[in-house]
């Protein structure tokens, strides 16, 4: 289960966080589930690691305090008290550590805070299979963002006949053969780029500019894609199909090329593309420009050889019709000059819808006439100018504190007052900027459109509302089931699927009733496609999942149970060593020796290093400047970059480690590095910052965080600096609570989080809410690590008493007076979090560059020594004794928790903690294969699949129709089923012409099974109630336009109107849970006399269009008899549109 998803299966929790008189200790390690362990990133031998760590730090003994360890390190501690840096014998410490750590299973005992099982501090719940959603076919598991640079998927399309799933990417297009959806890459082959190792096999096109839209044309076997460079490209489906030889993986087969490409727009991208009911291709671009591309020119171009590509492109480029120009009269155009975001072919009434963000335009697909322009509210507005949607505007605030000429310096108080004014001004600027932008973004923009099988048009808005229209652009109803923005809509049969920006997918019926909903992805669902009895959803991060069309149904429960029962077969365990360090550097720059003492020897056996610094830089001017930079989306400073570079050198950055992310807020800085071995499994690094200073807007106090995906599990690291001073315990608690509740990580959609770049996109759209707005993002992580200068002090003790206790190593006595431990026991802060045993002296406050016990503050204030610098964590365990599994995917143990007391560059000592983390992940290939086994072998599943593939029994009134001039013939389709609705769609399988010698020409197909211009079939799609009959009007009409005449003479193929023409219509009937269909074929023949002259242009207005009720009751309702020379077809031939196998849902 994706760790970003909604919490899943409920587990029984045990409250182990009761307040105790003695220090509560949690069992640090547990018996791991016997699942295959693949890799271990870091040392597997805790004893060896401990010994090596002891040798590396010459300041203070590590991991001592377990009986014999104390004896072995007494000499070292005595040396430190006296101001020296002697180390104990490595062999003695190693032997002591081996005996002590074996008692605890290789890890240290831990203190556990109270309150962890309640509310937002409850451990997120995970499971092998999500109980609140249907089992999904993982076609492409969530790839790491860093692997998708220049290759993000942006659109999705499916051809059910050939069982192909197409995706438009930033680098071209790719196609999955759904016959291989349950398979893996063949041995020796694999994807061309990292991130697709676990995906089902696919093929890629040659690199082309980003594909922004796509349309499937099953008739011609093409997929049409619109691209950012303004070109439209055609891809042959048979060229993208796998070869019989088996070398069909992206790693071994040459990439396929486009069959045709032409320049549709010279300087703007192709934003939308659609194939009309008459086989024309229409495209939309910026500025409201819409072009129609006649099928005849395209068909002729496709017949050219590969050496004639230039001629083919030129032929199509010259054939376009600029529909915006056609709708312009006297330099006046009712179309808004806004980007055409979406286009829809209304196949029921042969119309085309074009949509901008705020308006709709309705066109006649045959005459290409603009019928109507209207807004989201449904009001007709033929001349409405539409302002483009502007991005959020940030106002730079310049804060200046200038004394007047007469003003004299007022000493330190005046300086403090000016500094305070500057800080408060910066804080006010941050607050004002934070509130801007929300009024600029119109939350009623249209983001998606689709046609339901009952002929209605559905549009979705950014406020989550869904509007249903009739075919003439009249509003029928509006409903609202989710607060997040609608991103995509898809329909089949009597169902409608809606994808939201929150990752939610909802299923409705065509009447608008909500049937079900679930969290499909952890980010926006940007597109959907239907094929092979699945509805496939494309997430913004590039993941693709297939959901059964039947969901919700009893099949979901069976599949979920069967897959969960096979959990061990697809569970893999990984082990990662993580080094976390914190240091308040007091605006100083550390020496290389200090960094090596802190980190230099501790990283060689770890996979991930995370470092948090406090007080990198301070001062009123610095803080004000940092606040101003934050307000315009900037971060970082020269000092921060110096620290990142210096730590990188210590870690051999570029050789052993690679930086994966960083974030700075004023004096707070956090950065992370991954080892060479672990880096391929680390990514999706997001950053966050929460100021807690003046007005919760200044970064002198607060937190900065990084969220990192490691083996598909989210781990958060938060570097903090809480309120200072002995008495401010409640303020420190409040700082933690504010950071925990409000920290929101950046989600740079469509961009990469480079380790060397600053993330500029700070805000997430208000419409892209989490599934549960009340749940903090930190609460949804699988592991959270808090580090930093928490500033908790010691109560009820004097400076001299504290020094004496430190010199005697009476740390247990000191811990009883620790404010943080007391607050954690009471459940007031860090609820449910864990900390290792504190066996090192207090880390604050010291005099710089002075070693030993005498280094503690001996100035005028004589601050009491305290453990201000701490590292705490929470993993996936709801109870201390829990096995690492898909239900408890992250189990951590502390193997070292220590301070480097010999570092004297600051008034704080650096602290480090080493975690050994077990991570359970899913082997997606094995789970797909288990999925396949279940649907092929489970008898209950097979029985339910047969029921779900049911197609209602239907009959047609005739299978042969003869049309005279202007004839109307009624075709009746009857649903004989008494329980289920039948969905039908009428397509044209081709047109032939009777020659003078009596023979017929070959059937000629138009794009997307479009009708010839002389034939009208309305409605061509619909839903038939049980036991009811649908009447379909088949009408002949002489159709000519000015483009087809030159000086009154018919041009091109219009001469065919003088001959007898014959078309084959297919009536495809489907159910609601499968794309499987029954096909009725009908032959329509027309004998057309030679027209004497072109008819006058008589545009149809929207008021002249017959209503849906009138379309089935034309005057002439004669059904003509079959002629002997007609082609003969069965009236109820079974035809599987997608070749559904028995294993398909």
Mean of pLDDT values over 205-228? 94
Q: Is the pLDDT of residue 950 over 80?
A: yes
881 — pLDDT class (breaks 50, 70, 90): confident
Q: Does a structural domain hold residue 76?
A: no
Q: Residue 600: pLDDT band by 50, 70, 90 thresholds?
A: confident
**What integer best gives the mean pLDDT of the chain?**
79
Name the band, by pLDDT with cuts 50, 70 and 90, for residue 194: confident
- Which of 307-311, 804-808, 1108-1112 has the weakest average pLDDT? 1108-1112
Clarify whether residues 1114 and 1027 are in a common domain: yes
CA distance 619 to 422: 11
The pLDDT of residue 1117 is 38
Say which residue, 783 or 380, is predicted with more confidence. Answer: 783
Q: 990 and 1009 in contact (C-beta within 8 Å)?
A: no
Of 499, 522, 551, the one marking the end of a domain is 551
Residue partners of 98: CB distance under 8 A and separation at least 6: 47, 50
In the sheet that holds 534-539, the strands lie side by side as: 137-140, 544-548, 534-539, 525-531
Higher pLDDT: 48 or 834? It is 834
Q: Residues 6 or more apart from 152 whose CB is under 8 A from it? A: 169, 170, 542, 750
Tell which wins on pLDDT, 230 or 400. Answer: 230
Domain endpoint, select from 551, 586, 618: 551
User: How far is Cα 1126 from Cα 897, in angstroms, rounded to an integer?
Assistant: 88
Which residues, at least 6 apart from 549, have a Cβ–Cβ distance to it below 8 Å?
Answer: 492, 495, 530, 533, 534, 535, 948, 1072, 1073, 1074, 1075, 1145
Domain assignment of residue 966, yes or no: yes
Q: Which of 823-832, 843-852, 960-969, 1084-1093 is most confident? A: 823-832
Among 17-21, 500-504, 1008-1012, 1096-1100, the minimum mean pLDDT is found in: 17-21
227 and 319 within one domain: no
- Total domain count, the chain: 5
Give me the CATH number covering residue 482.
2.130.10.10
Give the model confidence (pLDDT) of 1051-1079 as tens digits. Answer: 444 444 456 888 999 999 998 778 889 99
Unique residue bearing structure tokens 């004893």: 47
Q: Which range is least confidently modeled, 305-309, 325-329, 387-391, 650-654?
A: 387-391
Answer yes or no: is 136 within a domain: no
Cα separation values, 564 from 9, 558, 922, 1062, Å: 11, 10, 12, 56
Q: State residue 255's pLDDT score.
A: 87
> Do 907 and 823 have their domain in common?
yes
pLDDT band at 188 (very low <50, low <70, confident <90, very high): low
Span 560-582, pLDDT tens digits: 999 999 999 999 999 999 999 99
Assess whether 116 and 147 both reside in one domain: no
Residue 96: pLDDT band (50, 70, 90) is very low
809 and 917 assigned to the same domain: yes
Position 281 pLDDT exceeds 70: yes
Q: Are residues 859 and 983 in the same domain?
A: no
pLDDT digits (tens, 9 = 90+) for 125-159: 899 999 999 999 999 999 999 998 888 999 999 98
* Residues 723 and 820 both lie in one domain: yes
Report residue 200: phi and psi, to 5°.
-65, 150
Is the residue at 895 inside a domain? Answer: yes
Q: Of 203-212, 831-840, 1120-1129, which range is least confident?
A: 1120-1129
Task: Identify whether 1073 is part of a domain.
Answer: yes
Q: Are strands 668-675 and 608-614 parallel, antiparallel or unpaired?
A: antiparallel
pLDDT of residue 4: 53
Could you tell me the CATH number of the domain that includes residue 1039?
2.60.40.10
Among 664-668, 990-994, 1075-1079, the least confident range: 990-994
Using one digit for the tens of pLDDT, what is the confidence trace for 405-464? 444 444 444 545 555 555 555 555 544 444 444 433 467 899 999 999 999 999 999 999
**Can you give the residue range of the structural domain that contains 322?**
271-375+377-387
Segment among 30-44, 135-149, 857-871 with least mean pLDDT: 30-44
3-class DSSP state of 162: coil
Q: Measured between alpha carbons, how far is residue 1140 from residues 97, 1073, 1143 in Å?
A: 63, 12, 8
458 and 596, same domain (yes or no): no
Is a pLDDT exceeding 60 seen at residue 700?
yes
- Where is pLDDT greater, at 91 or 828? 828
pLDDT at 1019 over 50: yes
pLDDT of residue 1120: 38
Q: Looking at the structure, tell me whether residues 735 and 831 fall in a common domain.
A: yes
For the chain, helix (H) and strand (E) counts, in that order, are 19, 56
CB distance 845 to 799 below 8 Å: no
Other Cβ atoms closer than 10 A to 1004:
16
- Range among 5-19, 98-112, 772-786 with highest mean pLDDT value: 772-786
For residue 1045, how many other CB atoms are within 10 A of its CB?
14
Does 227 lie in the same domain as 172?
yes
The one-character DSSP state at 277 is T
pLDDT digits (tens, 9 = 90+) for 487-524: 999 999 999 999 999 999 999 999 999 999 999 999 99
Is 410 a domain residue?
Answer: no
Phi (first) and psi of residue 761, to 5 degrees = -85, 100
- 759 lies in a domain? yes
Mean pLDDT of 1022-1045: 78
Domain CATH code at residue 775: 3.60.10.10
Average pLDDT over residues 66-71: 41
Do 236 and 205 share a structural domain? yes
Percent of the chain with pLDDT over 90: 57
% of the chain beyond a pLDDT of 70: 73
Is-contact 784 727, C-beta < 8 A?
no
| Confidence grade of residue 842 (pLDDT, cut at 50, 70, 90) | very high
Question: Is residue 35, in this structure, part of any structural domain at all?
Answer: no
Q: Which residues contact 274 (CB under 8 A, 6 or more apart)?
A: 215, 281, 282, 283, 343, 344, 345, 352
| Cα atoms in the Cβ-side hemisphere of radius 13 Å centred on 89 | 6
860 and 897 housed in the same domain: yes
User: Which pairs with CB-CB distance under 8 Å and at least 24 residues apart come from 501-504?
Assistant: 501/525, 501/765, 501/767, 501/768, 501/769, 502/768, 502/769, 502/770, 502/771, 503/4, 503/5, 503/539, 503/771, 504/771
pLDDT of residue 69 exceeding 50: no
Q: Which of 232, 265, 298 is the last residue of a domain?
A: 265
Return d(Cα 376, Cα 378) in angstroms, integer: 5
């Amino acid at each position: 289960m994706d760790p970003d998803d909604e919490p899943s299966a409920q587990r029984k929790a045990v409250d182990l966080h009761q307040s105790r008189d003695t220090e509560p200790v949690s069992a640090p390690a547990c018996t791991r589930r016997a699942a295959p362990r693949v890799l271990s990133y870091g040392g597997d031998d805790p004893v060896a690691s401990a010994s090596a760590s002891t040798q590396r730090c010459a300041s203070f003994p590590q991991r001592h305090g377990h009986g014999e360890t104390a004896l072995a390190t007494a000499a070292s501690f005595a040396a430190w008290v006296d101001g020296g840096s002697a180390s104990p014998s490595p062999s003695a410490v190693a032997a002591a550590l081996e005996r002590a750590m074996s008692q605890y299973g290789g890890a240290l005992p831990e203190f556990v805070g109270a309150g962890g099982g309640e509310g937002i501090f409850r451990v997120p719940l995970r499971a092998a299979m999500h109980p609140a959603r249907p089992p999904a076919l993982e076609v492409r598991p969530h790839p790491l963002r860093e692997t998708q640079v220049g290759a993000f998927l942006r659109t999705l399309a499916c051809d059910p006949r050939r069982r192909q799933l197409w995706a438009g990417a930033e680098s071209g297009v790719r196609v999955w053969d759904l016959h291989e959806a349950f398979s893996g890459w063949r041995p020796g082959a694999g994807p061309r780029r990292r991130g697709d190792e676990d995906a089902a096999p696919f093929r890629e096109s040659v690199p082309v500019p980003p594909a922004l839209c796509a349309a499937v044309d099953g008739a011609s076997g093409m997929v049409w894609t619109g691209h950012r460079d303004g070109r439209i490209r055609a891809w042959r489906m048979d060229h993208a199909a796998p070869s019989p030889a088996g070398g069909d993986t992206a790693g071994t087969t040459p990439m396929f090329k486009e069959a045709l490409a032409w320049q549709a727009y010279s300087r703007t991208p192709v934003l939308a593309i659609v194939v009309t009911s008459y086989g024309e291709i229409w495209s939309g671009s910026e500025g409201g420009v819409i072009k129609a591309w006649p099928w005849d020119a395209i068909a002729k171009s496709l017949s050219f050889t590969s050496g004639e590509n230039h001629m083919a492109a030129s032929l199509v480029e010259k054939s376009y019709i600029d529909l915006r120009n056609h709708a312009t009269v006297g330099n006046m155009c009712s179309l808004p000059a806004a980007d055409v975001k979406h286009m829809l072919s209304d196949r029921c009434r042969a119309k085309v819808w074009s949509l901008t963000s705020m308006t709709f335009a309705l066109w006649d697909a045959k005459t290409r006439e603009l019928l109507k322009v209207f807004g989201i509210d449904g009001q007709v507005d033929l001349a409405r100018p539409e302002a483009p949607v502007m991005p959020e505007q940030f106002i730079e605030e310049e804060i200046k504190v200038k004394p007047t000429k007469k003003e004299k310096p007022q000493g330190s108080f005046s300086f403090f007052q000016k500094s305070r004014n500057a800080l408060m001004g910066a804080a006010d600027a941050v607050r004002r900027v934070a509130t801007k932008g929300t009024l600029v973004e119109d939350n009623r923009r249209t983001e998606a459109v689709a046609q339901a099988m009952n002929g209605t048009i559905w549009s979705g808005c950014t406020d989550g509302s869904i509007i249903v229209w009739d075919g003439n652009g009249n509003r029928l109803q509006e409903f609202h089931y989710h607060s997040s923005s609608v991103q995509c809509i898809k329909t089949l049969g009597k169902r409608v699927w809606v994808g939201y920006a929150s990752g939610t997918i909802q299923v409705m019926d065509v009447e608008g009733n909500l049937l079900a909903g679930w969290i499909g992805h952890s980010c926006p669902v940007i597109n959907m496609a239907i094929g092979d009895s699945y509805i496939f959803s494309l997430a913004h991060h590039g993941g693709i999942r297939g959901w059964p069309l039947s969901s919700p149904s009893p099949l979901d429960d069976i599949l979920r149970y069967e897959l969960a029962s096979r959990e061990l077969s697809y569970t893999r365990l990984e082990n990662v060593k993580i080094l976390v360090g914190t240091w308040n550097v007091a605006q100083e720059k550390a020496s290389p020796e200090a960094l090596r003492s802190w980190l230099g020897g501790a990283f060689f056996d770890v996979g991930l290093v995370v470092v948090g610094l406090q007080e990198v830089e301070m001062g009123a001017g610095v803080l004000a400047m940092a606040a101003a930079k934050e307000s315009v989306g900037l971060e970082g400073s020269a000092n921060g970059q110096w620290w990142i570079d210096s730590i990188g050198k210590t870690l051999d950055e570029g050789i052993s480690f690679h930086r994966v992310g960083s974030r700075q807020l004023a004096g707070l800085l956090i950065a992370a590095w991954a080892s060479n071995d672990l880096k391929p499994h680390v990514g999706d690094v997001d950053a966050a910052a929460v100021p807690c200073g003046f007005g919760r807007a200044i970064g002198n106090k607060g937190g900065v965080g990084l969220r990192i995906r490691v083996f598909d599990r989210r781990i958060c690291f938060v570097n903090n600096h809480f309120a200072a001073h002995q008495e401010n315990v409640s303020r420190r608690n409040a700082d933690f609570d504010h950071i925990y509740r409000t920290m929101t990580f950046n989600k740079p959609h469509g961009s990469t989080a480079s380790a060397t770049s600053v993330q500029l996109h700070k805000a997430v759209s208000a419409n892209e809410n989490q599934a549960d707005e009340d749940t903090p993002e930190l609460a949804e992580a699988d592991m959270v690590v808090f580090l930093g200068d928490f500033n908790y002090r010691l109560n009820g003790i004097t400076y001299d008493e504290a020094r004496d206790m430190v010199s005697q190593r009476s740390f247990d006595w000191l811990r009883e007076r620790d404010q943080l431990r007391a607050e954690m026991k009471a459940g007031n802060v860090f609820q449910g979090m864990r900390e290792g045993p504190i066996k090192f002296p207090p880390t604050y406050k010291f005099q710089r560059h002075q070693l030993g016990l005498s280094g503690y503050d001996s100035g005028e204030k004589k601050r009491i020594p305290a453990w201000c610098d701490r590292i705490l964590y929470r993993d996936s365990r709801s109870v201390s004794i829990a096995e690492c599994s898909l239900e408890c995917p992250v189990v951590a143990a502390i193997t070292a928790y220590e301070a480097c007391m010999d570092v004297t560059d600051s008034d704080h000592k650096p602290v480090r903690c080493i975690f050994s983390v077990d991570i359970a992940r899913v082997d997606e290939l094995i789970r797909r294969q288990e999925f396949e086994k279940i649907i092929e072998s489970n008898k209950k599943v097979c029985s339910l699949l047969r029921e779900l593939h049911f197609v209602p029994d239907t009959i047609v009134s005739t299978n042969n129709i003869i049309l005279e001039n202007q004839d109307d013939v009624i075709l009746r389709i009857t649903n004989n089923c008494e329980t289920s609705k039948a969905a039908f769609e009428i397509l044209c399988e081709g047109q032939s012409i009777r020659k003078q010698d009596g023979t017929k020409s070959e059937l000629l197909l138009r794009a997307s099974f479009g009708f010839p211009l002389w034939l009208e079939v309305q409605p061509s799609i619909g839903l038939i109630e049980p036991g009811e009959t649908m009447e379909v009007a088949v009408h002949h009409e002489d159709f000519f336009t000015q483009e087809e005449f030159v000086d009154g003479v018919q041009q091109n193929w219009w001469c065919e109107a003088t001959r007898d023409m014959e078309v084959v219509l297919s009536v495809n009937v489907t159910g609601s849970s499968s794309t499987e269909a029954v096909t009725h074929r009908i032959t329509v023949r027309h004998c057309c006399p030679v027209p004497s002259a072109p008819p006058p242009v008589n545009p149809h207005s929207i008021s002249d269009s017959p209503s849906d009720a009138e379309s089935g009751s034309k005057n002439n309702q004669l059904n003509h008899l079959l002629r002997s020379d007609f082609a003969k077809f069965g009236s109820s031939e079974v035809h599987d549109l997608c070749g559904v196998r028995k294993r398909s849902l």
